[in-house]
Structure 1
């Protein structure tokens, strides 16, 4: 995994849709699963969503906590 891409998960926000404005790392798993079923968008945002889906699906979201802290974000809110 590219460390720069992991950092982007806690800094890039969702540009459209129901969760517009929410950072990629905070998107709910069911939303990421929906993209996995229907297809990720093309381009950079699609790659980030696919990466976050993989992390979330494998229960590795807590690995992003040090990056969240470095970005000045609190712990991920549980939904």
Structure 2
């Protein structure tokens, strides 16, 4: 399995570990919340990279791809 594929599978199952939206799948976080993080700065590490990808996916209307991955894997 490629790293990109594994990253997407992990993103599809990742839930927000803290804050107002704790326990919600990252891909299902409200757009305004992700944009706020984009402006403030994403967290360091893997979570930040995942949230940055969520931002790009939401920006381009591609969230359903990650939801579909969650169902399949």
Shorter-chain TM band:
0.7 to 0.9
In structure 1, runs of 5+ residues without a counterpart are 72-79
Q: CA deviation at 1:4?
A: 1.3
- Give the structure-1-normalised TM-score: 0.80
Q: Is the 8 A contact 2:16 2:26 kept in 1?
A: yes
Match of 1:30? 32
Aligned to 1:67: 69
Give, in angstroms, the shift of residue 59 of structure 1.
Answer: 1.1
Instruction: Note the aligned Cα RMSD (angstroms).
Output: 1.5
Question: What CA distance in whole angstroms lies between the structure 2 residues aligned with 1:46 and 1:28?
Answer: 16
Matched residues, number: 71
In 1, the alpha carbon distance for the partners of 2:67 and 2:24 equals 16
Which structure has more relative contact order (CA 8 Å, sep 6+)? It is 2
Which residue does the alignment assign to 2:43? 41
Q: Which has the higher helix share?
A: 2
TM-score normalized with structure 2 length: 0.86
User: Cα distance, 1:65 vs. partner?
Assistant: 3.4
